[in-house]
Structure 1
Amino acid sequence: MTRNLRLLLLAIAAAVVLGGCNTIEGAGKDIQKAGEKIEDAAKR
């Protein structure tokens, strides 16, 4: 493989990994908010 191709593949892999982290973080925040609403409803 040429050096440019290796760098391109590395950049693509990094973008996929970083994009996945943002998606998982957002999903975690949504689940946390839903849990808080359920907790508040249970306290009533």
Structure 2
Amino acid sequence: MSLYAAYGSNMDPTQMLRRCPSSSHAGTCWIQGWRLTFGAGELG
């Protein structure tokens, strides 16, 4: 089994149904020991 964690527009059930029609929504949760970060890239 594979799990997919979504954020942003990927949390929209209608959009995800179009993108991944054979997948099912399992629910929402916190994933202990993980965090989502976005890098600013190189400045300069």
After TM superposition, the score normalised by the length of structure 2 is 0.21
Structure whose alpha-carbon radius of gyration is higher: 1
> Larger RCO: Structure 1 or Structure 2 (Cα < 8 Å, ≥ 6 residues apart)?
2
